[in-house]
Structure 1
Amino acid sequence: MEIGAKLKEAREAKNLSLDDIQKVTKIQTRYLQAIEKGNFSAMPGSFYVRAFVKEYATAVGLDAEVFMEEHASELPKATNESSVQYSRVRSRGEATSSKSPAIFSFLPTVIVVLLILGILFLVWFFRSNGNGDADPEQVDTGGPDEVLVEDTGSDSEEQPEEAPDEATEGDEGGETTDGETNQSEEPANEPQLKLVEETTDDGEGVSTYDLINADDTIQLVLNTDKEHWLEVENDKGKSFYNAMFASNNAPLELDVTGEQRVHLRFGNPRDLQITVNGVSLQLPETVENGQIHQVWINLNGSAAE
């Protein structure tokens, strides 16, 4: 029996309509009809054929893995099923190599701090020079007063006593000004998504990002006004989402706090918006719609060893 006819028979045996299957799998009814008729050319691509058939088989109570093996000859060749496993198995050398570019992500912060320190030094320098210019005047005014003390009697002795008081007030004012220039504030570090690696795997693009300055809680949010096949899982294979993702499912909010790495695999990449803790993930310019794309996000700032 052909694959489409067997799925239809299993569906009717459970008294399920195509609309019932659509509600469970989120696969459009026209694609479900195409599967039952064996019209795989109506699908967006070979990846979607295998994914949709697997979802359909699960929905009607069949063992999806066994079913796929029994009808492997009727399905398009699986050209990219091994890509996720290939991406998961990273050598220690590859994980270490992705750390070195992360060092450069701190350079902008260092430059900003150095600029602030430089500005504070210039303010202190010019103010110090201004106070230095006032000191000779105070010394000069004291000189004549001392001469008057020597040449005059007791009446003139009261006048030079005021000069040291004025000089003292000036010194105290200078100390207060210098104290004010020593205050500085360091800029707060904001979360960033840094693209650290671009590769390909069986024709699929693979982009790797580091999340810098991560918060204690990490929230992954996905939005779209189109339709995508979407897989989200961690580096140990734990699945957070594996189905069709469309505008009626958006926004999709996933709490990935405590995870080391998160892996996403999806179609129509240009129509999918991905943010981590409010930071938008920008795909490389070479990524186009009509392709399957993969994204790895290192949530602790570097690839796990």
Structure 2
Amino acid sequence: MKLGTYLQNKREKSGITLKEMERGSGIKRSVLQIIEAGDLTLLPEPKHTRFLIRKYADFLNLDAEQLLERFQDEIPDTRTDNQKRNQKSNQDLQYLKKVLFGFITMILVLFAVWLVLLQIGSQGDIFETKRIYETENEVTDFTADKEEEEEAPEESPAEEESEEPAEEAEEEAAEEPGASVNFVNREGNTLVYNVTAPEELTLELSGNESSWVSLTDDLENNYLYEESDGGTFDIDPEAAVVNLALGNSTSFDISLNGTSVDNSQRGDTVTVYYQFNITRE
């Protein structure tokens, strides 16, 4: 039996649907389907296979390390991918060297042609210089006119200063609409919040150190799925549920439209999943 089939059987025997698995584990449904299909090389980032298998197993209360050891032949070898990337980098470097060599050769050829033409032109008076002005009178008249213009006083009209009304200044300095974030309950390692916000909703993450982060919504939008130390993300105006998974939650702060999310309910739990149920104003 393959690893994907084994995990799928365990999930189905536990009575857990793919939708419940997605919310609970923080793994996108399409990724779950790839894992259960058995071809782990089709994952968006095969190098994160071990991390995903651990999250899957933890949600089902399975021994992740034992699974990885048992099915280690199915785990993609990241060393092969690194060798391919290095080979591609070497090929790109060789191509760049050829392009630079060709460019330098072309410059040298053009320079040699220019020297030849310059030598021929000097011998045949091709580059004979000619005076632009036949007399100095025109230059003298132009200089005199220029001095008269500079000596003439310049009239500057009085400038009227206008102040903007205080109300307009306040409108320009208006802040971004905020959001109301209320804690609902905790389901295992998942913290559930109700969020009331306008259509423009921004989620901001800030961490002291990098951690694995997964940020998705119920419209299959994938905002972030990698190791990161935070960032700012504009949420789809049509999204009603936003799911966030943090591999090291204790080092991250979360805010929605500048409103900080209360993390007191997470305790000392390291891996925490957040579910934000959004109501638009």
Say whether the fold is shared (TM-score over 0.5). Answer: no
Q: Tell me the TM-score normalized by structure 1.
A: 0.35
Q: TM-score, normalised by structure 2?
A: 0.38
